Structure 1
Amino acid sequence: MSSESNDTLWDRTIAALKQVVQEEEANNDTSGDEYTHYAKLYVRYTLVLADMNKVYDSCLQAQKRLDIKMTIEHIICRVIRLRNCLAKLPPPNQSSCEGLVDLNSALVELKISPSQLEALTPLMLKEGNESVSTRIAKMGATTSSSTFEEPDSDANSAGTATLPDNDDEQDDTTSCAQPEIDSDSENKENIVNTLDDNHAAAKIQALYRGSFARKQVPYERIQIDNFIGMSNSSKEEEISQLDADIASLHQQRAQEQSQCQQSYEAELHQLKDTVLEEEGFAMQRELREERIRWITEQTVTKHVLPDSLEDFYGKDANQAEIAHDDATTKKELKPLNECIEIYEQRWKGRVVGPDRIKSQAVDSEMAKDLIVRNQVRAELTPGIDEKLLANLQKIKATQEGDKKSKKKEKTTKGKKKGGGKKEKPLPGTKLSEVKDMTVQQMLSCLVQNGLVYNYDNRHKISNFIGPFEATCNASTLNAPNAWELRMSVRDLCILPMGTKRIKSSIQDESLRSILFYGPKGSGKTLMMEIVASEIGALVIHLSSTSIGNTFEDGNEATKLIHMIFTVAKEEALSPVIIYLDNCHEFFLGKSKKKGGNPDAMNASMTRFQKLLLMYKNQYLTKEDRVLVIGCTNMPAAGDMKLMKWKGSSGKAEKQGFFEHALYFPNTSNSSRSMLWKEAIRKKVTCPCQLDFDLLAHMSSGYSTGKIFEIVNEVLSNDRLKTLASSPPSEQHDFAPKLLPMEQSQSDQIFVDFSRQWNGSKTKIS
């Protein structure tokens, strides 16, 4: 997209945002159909968010991107709040899932297709986060292997959408097992280190030419085959080439954006030195006079010199709180109105007027006003405050006598004794071995014990395949479809974890923990990896498969949980996901610890039960960019009193754990049809005449993971070599593998758990 087209789209999107905000302010009366009112607002804000994301993705100018990013963050906050309002209201369809939003009537009324709401996750959510390997390296964590290598962009990405759900068994390919070091690679490095510069350059050039030639061979072979008529898949190859060209353009634009950002930051550094030299003295005098004026007012009104400047810094916050004490809707919409006002004042006349070309360059005066002067003031303020406080102490020492000082000390001590109830310390703080450990050492311990989960960071929310439909289960209640799950996970897990500003702005609406439950192979683990990939999160894996026989002692269990949550709260590593696989094992009731099926549950994991409850409820705050995701295909095996969060009152270990739950049901007929098509498309480039609806009917009861497993088995590497002469033109190739089978787990089991989770409610979540 050209800069002119991008600026035009920005102007049009801001106009649409302004219209929605004005209509919401004017129509606060929701005494009628309140649910439909909020649903329509949710849909319209989501559409604006999708367009604003396109603007941010295409924009190169660094200053514009900052304002666009701020606008996106406030729109995300509004979308999350509207979704929260919808979740609290009774939906029109009483059999729909709790926690999921029913948008059918709003979509029909606004004439919007569901696919339009499935905008890509805003790029800025992941863009501001460094890669997991970089964050671990910066923390100084020691590892003995290259566990966290980035995936090769040129590698075949056919498996990005086909990872099955590993509920009971941990796949070696997704674990953090450390590979053996290749001795040949060490020898090559030693040889290269002994070469001089010329020989080393020659080696590098030879390696580059060889790599380039290997990449060119497939394209040249395709061209020769097309020329002599030996290939019948030219259209598919053209499409693949177009996709590769588009990906290359996206990568090129990302590099240009990074270069623009780096040059902008370099210019900010130069401007900072200039402002400090030219305006530093005047700023110091202004800051000093402002504080002296406040101290004088405090002394006149209270007849006492202030002890500190805390009230001086708090006066702005108090004034802002009084100014914002307005209607709830106006208070929530104020940030959006400010974003619109900023655009109209700074950019509207530039991006659509004669100064549009100039607006593509950095505006130095704008940078000084908005960023540089504030940075200089922030650096000068501590020195001025320190000198003023020292002078205040000297003045108070000469004015106050010793008796008065002693009385004040007694009064202060008395106030401290009469303070509030102290919070119970966490168990890990009592361990001497943990006290001496730094966050870097804790992270190193987790990595070396294989608890840092290595996932494919190319996953997208669109990899969770499934249509928009109403799926009925055995109890005639509507289970969530794939579209609803994608939207719910995006609103509940991805968007709130994006940036610090979003997380701090939606504290009441944000989650600290969520439960994914459903039959084996329904996509729970895949969805967890999608969440991690979309926000670039560090994933800490805690389960019986990842821990094994380690950390069995009581103190060792406490040490592990303390390390996990301490590392998760470290701001330099955020965002972080704590992944509890087979989470029912952690929350078994007393009766289930002694009895039950030993093959289905691991009672030894209950040693972490109390620790998890205490650390999640007492240590984690809603401002932390940390999310605990639990996955289970046996939710009924856990104790409901322990699994469901009841609120923040009472002891932390009695509050329950998961604050929300999402049900991943068995696949429907239409979902299986899409899964068959996608799984075969990932394997076969030549056209296939297959009846996917018939395959879906024949595979009734099969999970997502089972379908991909069958496709991988039928279309093996040997078979792929002969596809040109014998493509799978009929479903009979797959029929022998599709034996009649019942669903591995009945929907009724999960419906009963859903009803128990919701108490007396008849809806499922």
Structure 2
Amino acid sequence: MVFFQRLATLYVRYVRIFRELEEAYDQIIQPQKRRLIRDVLDGVIGRVLELKNEMVEKEYSEYHYMDDVIQDLKLTPEDLEIPIPKYFLSERRKVLQERAAVLSSILEQNGMVEKPKPTAAHVLSLEEAIRIIQVSERARQGRLRSNIMREIHRDAERQKKTKDKDLGEAVEQAAIRIQKVWKGYVQRKKTKQEREEEMIFLGMSMKPGLAQSCPAVVLAEDKKVVRRSKQEEHEEDFQKALISISESLRETEGPDMKEMMKDQIRQWFIECHDATGSFPEYPNEEDGGSAIIFANKTPEQLMEELAAKEEEEENNKPKEKEQQKGKKEKGKGEEEEKEPGLKLLPSAFLSELQNSHKTFKDIWQNRDESKNFSQRHEAELIKEEKRKEIEAEIRLQVDELMRQELANWKLAVEGSKGGKSKTGGKKKKGSKGGKKKKKDRDLTADRSMESLYEELVVEGLLKPADHVKLHDFIGDYSYLGTTLRQTDIEPMPSLSDVRQVISLCAVLPLGSQVIHEKAPLVKAILLVGPSGVGKKMLVHAICQETGANLFDLSPLNLVGKYPGKSGLQMMLHMVFKVARLMQPSVVWIGDAEKMFYKKIPKEEKELDPKRLKKDLPKMLKTIKGEDRILIVGTTNNPLSADLKSLCKLYTKIILIPRPDYASRFVMWKELIRRNGGVVTNALDLSSLAKISDGYTQGHMVRVVKDILTERRIRQLAKRPLTAAEFVSPLARIDPVFQDEEEALKSWYAKTPLGKKRARAALGVDGEQDVAAKGGKDSKKKGKK
């Protein structure tokens, strides 16, 4: 618990740095600073992913509750929200626009886009028009007649009452009644006003004047847009300066560099010959060429180092066995001495962060930029970088010339060619030192990428993603997670927790190539939850946030497409080839349980839902760190699938529950506003959130759309919304019952991570359990 507390604190601090760096990278306009910030930002994102992975491994849960940590650090839940870096899309804007245009043109050409129906009014005949007018006029007259008769009856009743009672008493009672009604109305109004003032004072509601956006906030947003446009201008100038400065340096300083290098290398030849009596061997390109000569060492030291290296290589082989034996003996002793404890896993990003920090301190921390008010590029920094590049280029040319010159010197002075060792070395490199890996045969080598892309779109395997963002998956923070866990109650995650896990596992790795290559690799994710909780929406949001292609390999979408074994192989080859060449890509498998059915239902046998069961796991193995491809499965009925094979394909399983009270409260408010409604004090959101317990986001969206029609929106000014209006539409929908949610929780407890979590809760060590299992297996093998 102490170790996890440290991990959680580290994670929270890294997330805060991540948020600030993302804002800085989005707003700073100096191109060289932005490159350094980008390196640090990628490193911080990678470190956040590493810490998240480590927390999952230590706590055996995808969801973590850090309300105690943010309370200690005096933070709010918003500070823990994972931001999606804007550069994921902004730096690929042109490519994404072109791809969207190509996709829409292909869909239009093949008639796959639903065209809106013409809204021309139906022309009525004269008889139909007269009949409609007659019906409406008779209805109007009937309503008017009934109102008149109602008034006549009321007057008659009043006259009877006044005859029976004394007139003086009636006037007094009427005055008392009027006073009573008026005083009640005034008091209710006063109480309501006092309540509103109290809520404003407590900070639980806003003043009516502050409901509109503040002018300062609007101005700040406008300035951000201006800065982004300036970023593009400065970046163009920077790219032009890179080319012009490198060309000028190559022309002015290149020849001098070349001559200086030649003189230095010749001097080295002479010094070596004077010191040792023979010319040295020229260093290979792999070792760094002539760059290692100028390491501030004398020729004798260099010759000694080269000789020492050869001796070490020869002596190392027999010593390795002795060292291994010694290590084993030492290891036993050290294990006894060391106390058991937990350590942080090694990081692939910390070294980069340290290098970037050193660069900042050396170059930018104490730099005087008073003269660079417009924040254009620094020409001197470009010259320093380009000098190194030009020097490296020239050094390669000089090395080739000087190797030949050294061979000529040896021939002239020593009478022997020095080039024999070179040819021998080359032969060794060219020798076959092991079996070559078999390359996968390209089934579509003769076809262009455009034709493959078009075929997948026409077949319905590549689809446009819906325009939804991850922040549209509305949900509030889980405020009692840590408290419940301390009392040995496993809390159900809130929708905010789900959103964060999707950001960390799917969006951030897919968005950046640098992060994906070094961060913990996640190849496949399974989203499990009742229908209507937003699984499909999350898939589309991942594609929208990262600019990824969406491939639909759902069992129902594959019916009748690419029949036979060869057709299946061709389809998978095409999908993953296009996914690799146009990455990032998301391969979506809806109704993922159908692929691993325990028993196929009779009505689905003809559909062959288990078609991808064998071939998809093989394709999953071919996905590597450099391939930004993610397989996302969605299911609302995982109980019908074989658990072992399902968990083998999907290494990360995310359980999405129905929304809790806090999420429902936020969701009702947001859904009503987005659909044109107005939330007033007449609408009791707290009661509405309470009575909608068990209903999913999909149910709530359907109810809001049913109620907020155009006619109802026009009436909002006179008749505001009330909670009672939402009750009857909700009552017509079946909610997610407790039994269904409990069944999903018990199913999740049988997954590998769920089992580990259960063992940890019981205090059983995972390694001991595995060892016990291993012992049982070994006995079984012996019996066999």
Structure 1 length as normaliser, TM-score?
A: 0.68
Match of 2:635 in 1: 632
Q: Does 1:64 align with 2:53?
A: no
Q: Does 1:705 align with 2:668?
A: no
**1:305 to 1:561, Cα distance in 2 relative to 1, 3 A:** farther
Q: Which residue of 340, 346, 365 maps to 2:363?
A: 346
**AA in 2 matched with 1:178:** M
Cα distance in structure 2, aligned partners of 1:671 and 1:142: 36
Match of 2:469 in 1: 459
Cα distance in structure 1, aligned partners of 2:359 and 2:731: 60
**AA in 2 matched with 1:66:** R
Q: Give the gaps of 5 or more residues in structure 2.
A: 119-206, 296-343, 411-415, 761-784
* 1:736-755 paired onto structure 2 within 5 Å: 736-739=729-732, 741-743=734-736, 746-755=740-749
Cα distance in structure 2, aligned partners of 1:747 and 1:349: 59
Q: Which residue of 740, 761, 765 maps to 2:756?
A: 761
Q: Give the gaps of 5 or more residues in structure 1.
A: 1-31, 91-96, 148-175, 185-232, 320-326, 645-655
The answer on whether the counterparts of 1:69 and 1:124 sit within 8 Å (CA) in structure 2 is no
Match of 2:503 in 1: 490
Match of 1:604 in 2: 608
Deviation at 1:49, TM superposition (A): 1.4
* 1:566-585 paired onto structure 2 within 5 Å: 566-570=577-581, 573-585=582-594
- Partner of 1:445: helix, strand, or coil? helix
Deviation at 1:314, TM superposition (A): 14
Cα distance in structure 2, aligned partners of 1:464 and 1:282: 64
Cα distance in structure 1, aligned partners of 2:271 and 2:646: 55
Q: Which residue of 490, 502, 515 maps to 1:477?
A: 490
The answer on whether the counterparts of 1:236 and 1:686 sit within 8 Å (CA) in structure 2 is no
Match of 2:4 in 1: 35
Deviation at 1:328, TM superposition (A): 7.1
* 1:677-688 paired onto structure 2 within 5 Å: 677-684=669-676, 686-688=678-680
- Partner of 1:515: helix, strand, or coil? strand
The answer on whether the counterparts of 2:290 and 2:395 sit within 8 Å (CA) in structure 1 is no
The answer on whether the counterparts of 1:443 and 1:567 sit within 8 Å (CA) in structure 2 is yes
The answer on whether the counterparts of 2:283 and 2:290 sit within 8 Å (CA) in structure 1 is no
Cα distance in structure 2, aligned partners of 1:514 and 1:395: 65
* 1:53-92 paired onto structure 2 within 5 Å: 53-90=22-59
Cα distance in structure 1, aligned partners of 2:116 and 2:493: 47
* 1:190-229 paired onto structure 2 within 5 Å: none
Match of 1:643 in 2: 646
Cα distance in structure 2, aligned partners of 1:586 and 1:314: 60
Cα distance in structure 2, aligned partners of 1:602 and 1:294: 80
**AA in 2 matched with 1:587:** F
* 1:132-531 paired onto structure 2 within 5 Å: 133-134=96-97, 136=99, 143-145=105-107, 178-179=112-113, 238-239=212-213, 248-282=222-256, 309-312=285-288, 333-350=350-367, 355=370, 357-358=372-373, 360-370=375-385, 372-373=386-387, 376=390, 416=432, 419-420=434-435, 426=440, 429=441, 431=443, 434-457=444-467, 459-461=469-471, 463-470=473-480, 477-506=490-519, 509-531=520-542
**AA in 2 matched with 1:493:** A
**1:117 to 1:177, Cα distance in 2 relative to 1, 3 A:** farther
* 1:45-124 paired onto structure 2 within 5 Å: 45-90=14-59, 98-124=61-87
Q: Which residue of 125, 128, 142 maps to 2:91?
A: 128
Cα distance in structure 2, aligned partners of 1:314 and 1:643: 56
Deviation at 1:71, TM superposition (A): 1.3
Deviation at 1:183, TM superposition (A): 14
- Partner of 1:478: helix, strand, or coil? coil
Deviation at 1:330, TM superposition (A): 8.9
String of CA shifts for 1:129-168, please: whole Å, max 9, x gaps.
3356446389x99953469xxxxxxxxxxxxxxxxxxxxx
Cα distance in structure 2, aligned partners of 1:51 and 1:730: 41
- Partner of 1:120: helix, strand, or coil? coil
Cα distance in structure 2, aligned partners of 1:365 and 1:552: 63
String of CA shifts for 1:237-293, please: whole Å, max 9, x gaps.
944999877665543332222222222222222222222222333455678899999
**AA in 2 matched with 1:446:** L
- Partner of 1:628: helix, strand, or coil? strand
The answer on whether the counterparts of 2:684 and 2:722 sit within 8 Å (CA) in structure 1 is no
Deviation at 1:40, TM superposition (A): 0.7
CA RMSD of aligned residues (A): 4.7
Q: Does 1:716 align with 2:709?
A: yes
- Partner of 1:606: helix, strand, or coil? coil
The answer on whether the counterparts of 2:528 and 2:653 sit within 8 Å (CA) in structure 1 is yes
The answer on whether the counterparts of 2:593 and 2:641 sit within 8 Å (CA) in structure 1 is yes
**1:268 to 1:177, Cα distance in 2 relative to 1, 3 A:** farther
Deviation at 1:553, TM superposition (A): 2.6
Cα distance in structure 2, aligned partners of 1:43 and 1:601: 50
Cα distance in structure 1, aligned partners of 2:499 and 2:263: 55
Cα distance in structure 2, aligned partners of 1:295 and 1:638: 74
**AA in 1 matched with 2:629:** V
Match of 1:659 in 2: 651
**AA in 2 matched with 1:700:** D
**AA in 1 matched with 2:74:** K
- Partner of 2:722: helix, strand, or coil? coil
Cα distance in structure 1, aligned partners of 2:727 and 2:13: 44
Cα distance in structure 2, aligned partners of 1:291 and 1:74: 40
Deviation at 1:520, TM superposition (A): 0.9
* 1:605-620 paired onto structure 2 within 5 Å: 605-617=609-621, 619-620=622-623
- Partner of 2:469: helix, strand, or coil? coil
- Partner of 1:89: helix, strand, or coil? helix
Higher relative contact order (CA 8 A, sep 6+): 1
Cα distance in structure 1, aligned partners of 2:644 and 2:290: 42
